[in-house]
């Protein structure tokens, strides 16, 4: 019999250079991740123009199933979150400034709820729910060599795995953020109606005065961008699993964190560009 030897894991050298070097390594890793995720997104989009009616039907089937999971099944959570946030904002304004005019309240709701909270909170909900599922599913496919098997049969993973999830998450985020904004406004107006102040007609006037056609562009850019970020980052980290199922939860956690951070930074950058280029929407009415 062969003598048994005790397994000793290899020693991992500690990184050197202090916090500045650690920050630099994190920056390089972040750039590598976003570069790889962007390349994955471009490759998936290009496959949409590939020939094959049967393949297109298969992609549509997976896309609709993912839309149902991400959009339709996520409605209860989005509804509850939107109502609570809208009512909470109205309650805070009533407590902090009880004599605030209704027009100002409407402007605050349009600026904070519709332009900022609706895209960002929706993206965070989708990332924490559907992004987790996508990263876990693709990670398990990678660990079980299912993606390798598809590749060996000539089936493009970018088309049949990545593209449906990318399209479904983008569509779901855009639709859910519109729904979130409407429900949050209903929650705010409902609380205002219960307390009787400020006047609902004045709030509606302030809301209408603040919103403009440019807000549709802002909504579209934020919705499509945040949806694409969540999808490609979660798909990227799912495909980084290297043959071991124990890596799946680790990569899933990284995917959700990076996706949420990316959506926060993207939302801020788009808002900054929006106000820098177009100014306040009310100025263009």
Residue with the bigger pLDDT between 207 and 198: it is 207
Residue 47 tokens read as 């496959």
The rounded distance, in Å, linking the Cα atoms of 20 and 18 is: 6
CB 263 within 8 A of CB 230: yes
pLDDT per residue as tens digits for the range 70-111: 999 999 999 999 999 999 988 888 887 777 787 888 888 888
Over residues 12-32, the mean pLDDT reads: 68
Q: What one-character DSSP code corresponds to residue 2?
A: P
| DSSP code for 226 | H
pLDDT over threshold 80, residue 224: yes
Mean pLDDT of 29-50: 80
pTM value is 0.84
Q: How many residues are listed for the chain in this entry?
A: 285
Contact 71, 165 (CB under 8 A): no
User: What confidence score (pLDDT) does residue 30 get?
Assistant: 72
Cα separation of 134 and 27, whole Å?
25
- Cβ–Cβ under 8 Å, residues 69 and 133: yes
């Amino acid at each position: 019999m062969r003598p048994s030897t005790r397994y000793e894991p290899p020693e991992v050298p500690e990184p050197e250079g202090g916090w500045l070097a650690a920050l630099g390594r994190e920056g390089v890793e972040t750039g590598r991740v976003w570069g790889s995720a962007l390349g994955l997104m471009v490759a998936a989009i290009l496959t949409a123009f590939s020939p094959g009616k049967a393949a297109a039907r298969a992609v549509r089937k997976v896309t609709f199933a993912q839309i149902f999971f991400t959009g339709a099944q996520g409605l209860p959570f989005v509804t509850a979150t939107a109502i609570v946030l809208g009512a909470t904002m109205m309650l805070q304004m009533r407590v902090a400034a009880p004599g605030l005019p209704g027009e100002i309240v409407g402007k605050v709701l349009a600026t904070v709820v519709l332009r900022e909270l609706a895209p960002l909170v929706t993206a965070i909900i989708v990332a924490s729910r559907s992004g987790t599922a996508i990263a876990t599913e693709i990670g398990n496919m990678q660990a079980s060599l299912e993606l390798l098997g598809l590749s060996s049969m000539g089936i493009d993973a970018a088309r049949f795995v990545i593209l449906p999830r990318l399209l479904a998450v983008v569509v779901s985020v855009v639709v859910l953020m519109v729904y979130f904004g409407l429900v949050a406004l209903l929650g705010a107006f409902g609380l205002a109606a219960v307390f009787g102040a400020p006047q609902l007609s004045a709030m509606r006037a302030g809301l209408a005065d603040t919103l403009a056609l440019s807000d549709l562009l802002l909504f579209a850019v934020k919705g499509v961008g945040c949806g694409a970020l969540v999808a490609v980052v979660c798909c990227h980290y799912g495909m980084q699993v290297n043959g071991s199922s124990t890596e799946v939860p680790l990569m899933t956690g990284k995917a959700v964190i990076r996706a949420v951070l990316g959506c926060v930074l993207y939302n801020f950058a788009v808002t900054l560009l929006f106000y820098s280029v177009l100014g306040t929407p009310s100025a263009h009415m």
